[in-house]
Amino acid sequence: MKKATLSLCGILLILLAGCGPKHPSEAPTTGRPSGGGSMAVVVISPALTSVFHQQLVQGAEAAAKARGWQFSHLEPDKETNSAMQVAQVQDAIQSGVKAISICAVNDEALVQAVKKANDANVPIFVHNSITPVPGGKVEAYIGYDEREAGRKAGEKAVELLKAKYGVPRGKVAILDGTAGSHTDERAGGFKDALKGTQIQVVAEQSANWLRKEGADRATEFLEKYPDLDLIFGCSDAMAQGAAQAAKQAGKQIFTIGLDGNPDALEDVKNGNLTATVVVFPYQMGEKVIDTIARFKAGEHVPQVIKTDTLVVDRTNVDQYLKHP
């Protein structure tokens, strides 16, 4: 993860957590927040290993700089390090920030972050999730409906297997992320779409949002279920790992991801990944900054601000591969 110096004052934006396809994918810099004399925004993500988080940070950075704000971001060293993320939240609060937006490593980290912000009377926002926090005050949730996105992936699976067999039937496996609401909503939505069909979910395991673990779990799935038809990854990285594993095993299966990262879209175009649900993280980052600005200006801010999702396959991928 690249790091750079951060300076904060007016606002802290802590963004976490599953890639704006219309923007470049290089990772922005990070650092430690510090007090200052101008409006400042900090984004804290659950590591920058995913292109999704890189894209979200880039969108927030562009929107903040367009307003003349200082921008910086923080993230733990890996997406399972909740203790480091909570410590970064505390550091940011102590630096004198005036607002926080967070997409946490997991539910426990999110609850702790909200509590710390509330205790310090710092307004806090949540992004990349619209699932209510069980306790504490959150000013607004900015993100896509993860259950709906999972359901769209499931509907695509039904479409593919119906085309293969004439009726929607077959065997599928699911690659979960880390335990928590992100996985529950995405995988839950996917399974909702399969209800009333003859499609069986024969395996479901966590790959911790990582491509390598996705490949490892998919290899195990294919060994145990040689007639497996499809693997759904709750993130693009895990689905890409599954696609890689299937290719190495000489298997032709469908693979569906969720994020719409630029590299995943390239894989869709090249036929390596069957489809992905694009969730426009770059635009989500822009929306977070816009929401913070409206709140600070005293405007009414809705409790839930939804961003868009869209299924992309080889029939429509070209329009989402275009860069500004």
Among candidate residues 285, 215, 207, the one with its CA nearest the CA of residue 22? 285
Q: Which two tokens stand for residue 239?
A: 């689905």
**Segments making up each domain of the chain, as ranges:** 40-144+282-307, 146-278
Residue 300: band (very low, low, confident or very high) from pLDDT cuts 50, 70, 90: very high
Please tell me if the domain spanning 40-144+282-307 has the same topology as the one spanning 146-278.
Answer: yes
CATH number for the domain whose boundaries are 40-144+282-307: 3.40.50.2300
Over range 69-94, report the average pLDDT.
Answer: 84
Q: What is the pLDDT of residue 322?
A: 66
Domain 146-278 architecture? 3-Layer(aba) Sandwich (3.40)
pLDDT at 28 over 60: no
For the chain, give the mean pLDDT.
Answer: 86
pLDDT at 12 over 90: no
pLDDT at 50 over 90: no
Over range 137-163, report the average pLDDT.
Answer: 97
CA-to-CA distance for 46 and 42, rounded, in angstroms? 13
What is the DSSP code (8-state) at residue 79? T
Least confident window among 18-27, 124-133, 202-211, 266-275: 18-27
What is the DSSP code (8-state) at residue 318? G
Q: What is the pLDDT of residue 10?
A: 40
Instruction: Output b/e per residue, 225-262; b: 16+ Cβ within 10 A.
Output: eeebbbbbbbbbbbbbbbbbbbeeeeeebbbbbbbbbb
100-112 pLDDT, tens per residue?
888 887 888 888 9
CA-to-CA distance for 22 and 169, rounded, in angstroms? 35
Its sign, for the CA torsion 221, 316, 52, 137, is: negative
Q: What is the pLDDT of residue 9?
A: 37
